[in-house]
């Protein structure tokens, strides 16, 4: 049957400080149960796109001045980030942002705050997070500020999982991590997608790894989508190979 579109971004424009036009009409579709990659170099507009979806631009003096953002067919662009979390969409910010003075487990528990269900469900979800991230279970009593970059990325994803999302917006999960760890994080994303049915929209500069794990990709350049297609096709595209995979 036809795949359901969860998130639909239609021709959005974003302006910072009333004058700087950064997104110049970006459109994309995120299908339920898929891993969709948002690719492009530094400054292409990936983070801005994710923040536009989560309504996190105000603190940076940015605003969506044109276009629409729908989730399950409903307009979401004026919702608070917390309201969006209730609808099942959560963003994992670039740079991880743990509460450094809390333990790993306390950090994970902060992700459950929007939920109305009981302690039993929360503790079952904590077990689920530890099943996907055994390393976090070992480190659960450690102060988050003293864990490694890879562990902090795991904490950030694990905390998002605690809100029981349907869709995760994941910003630059590979940033600052050694190749082996990047692979490990992407393997976990893949199994969360396959086993929990989680939908992902991930922004990545690391085109190579993203196109190996994603099903579909959009390439952004200077605030516009310049190319999109199934990941397998993008991997074979001569321009993508030359400019993004370094295989000319
Ligand atoms: P990166 O991976 O480096 O974050 P990106 O593709 O995510 O790159 P954005 O962070 O979305 O790109 O930035 C897109 C453009 O918007 C860049 O030119 C950047 O300088 C500009 N920009 C980002 N934030 C602001 C801001 N708060 N005010 C003005 N310009 C901004």
DSSP letters spanning 190-205: HHHHHHH--EEEEEES
Atom number in ligand 1 closest to CA 223: 14
**Strand ordering across the sheet containing 167-171:** 89-92, 167-171, 199-204, 35-39, 216-221, 224-230
Cβ neighbours, 10 Å, residue 138: 12
Mean pLDDT of the 166-184 span: 94
Residue owning the nearest CA to atom 15 of ligand 1: 43
- Interval 216-242: pLDDT, tens: 999 999 999 999 999 999 999 999 998
| Whole-number Å distance between alpha carbons of 245 and 248 | 8
Atom number in ligand 1 closest to CA 172: 2
Cβ neighbours, 10 Å, residue 78: 9
Atom number in ligand 1 closest to CA 94: 4
pLDDT at residue 122, as a whole number: 83
Pocket of ligand 1 (CB under 6 A): 16-17, 20, 22, 40, 42-48, 60-62, 172, 205
| Whole-number Å distance between alpha carbons of 129 and 2 | 31
- Interval 46-105: pLDDT, tens: 999 999 999 999 888 999 999 999 999 999 988 988 899 999 999 999 877 789 999 999
Residue owning the nearest CA to atom 10 of ligand 1: 47
| Whole-number Å distance between alpha carbons of 32 and 7 | 8
Residue owning the nearest CA to atom 17 of ligand 1: 43
| Whole-number Å distance between alpha carbons of 37 and 110 | 27
Between the CA of 15 and the centroid of ligand 1 the distance, in Å, is 11
Q: Looking at the predicted structure, is the pLDDT value of residue 247 above 70?
A: no
Say what percent of the chain tops pLDDT 90. 82
Residue owning the nearest CA to atom 20 of ligand 1: 43
| Whole-number Å distance between alpha carbons of 234 and 240 | 6
pLDDT at residue 123, as a whole number: 87
Atom number in ligand 1 closest to CA 203: 7
Atom number in ligand 1 closest to CA 171: 7
Site to probe by mutation for ligand 1, drawn from 18, 20, 172, 174 as the one with most ligand atoms within 8 Å of Cβ, is 20
Q: Which residues contact 113 (CB under 8 A, 6 or more apart)?
A: none
pLDDT at residue 245, as a whole number: 85
Enter the ipTM: 0.93
Atom number in ligand 1 closest to CA 51: 11
Tokens of 67: 């276009």
pLDDT at residue 248, as a whole number: 58
Long-range contacts of 157-160 (CB under 8 A, 24+ apart): 157/92, 157/133, 157/185, 157/188, 157/189, 158/107, 158/108, 158/111, 158/129, 158/132, 158/133, 159/107, 159/108, 159/110, 159/111, 160/90, 160/91, 160/92, 160/111
Between the CA of 150 and the centroid of ligand 1 the distance, in Å, is 24
Give the predicted TM-score (pTM) of the model: 0.94
Between the CA of 49 and the centroid of ligand 1 the distance, in Å, is 10
């Amino acid at each position: 049957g036809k795949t359901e579109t969860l998130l639909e971004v239609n021709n959005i424009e974003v302006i910072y400080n009333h004058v700087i036009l950064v997104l110049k009409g970006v459109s994309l579709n995120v299908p339920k149960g898929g891993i969709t990659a948002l690719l492009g170099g530094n400054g292409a507009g990936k983070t801005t796109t994710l923040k536009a979806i989560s309504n996190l631009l105000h603190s940076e003096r940015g605003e969506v001045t044109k276009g629409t953002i729908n989730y399950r067919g409903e307009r979401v662009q004026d919702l608070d980030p917390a309201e969006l979390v209730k609808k099942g969409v959560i963003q994992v910010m670039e740079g991880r942002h743990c509460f450094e003075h809390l333990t790993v487990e306390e950090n994970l528990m902060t992700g459950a705050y929007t939920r109305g269900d009981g302690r039993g469900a929360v503790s079952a979800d904590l077990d689920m997070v530890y099943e996907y991230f055994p390393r976090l279970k070992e480190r659960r009593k450690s102060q988050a500020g003293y864990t490694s970059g890879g562990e902090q990325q795991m904490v950030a994803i694990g905390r998002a999982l605690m809100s029981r999302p349907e869709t995760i917006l994941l910003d630059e999960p590979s940033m600052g991590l050694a190749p082996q760890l990047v692979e490990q994080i992407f393997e976990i994303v893949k199994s969360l997608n396959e086993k929990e049915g989680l939908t992902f929209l991930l922004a990545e500069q690391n085109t190579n790894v993203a196109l190996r794990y994603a099903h579909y990709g959009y390439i952004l350049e200077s605030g516009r989508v310049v190319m999109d297609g199934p990941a397998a096709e993008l991997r074979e595209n001569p321009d993508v190979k030359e400019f993004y995979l370094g295989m000319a």
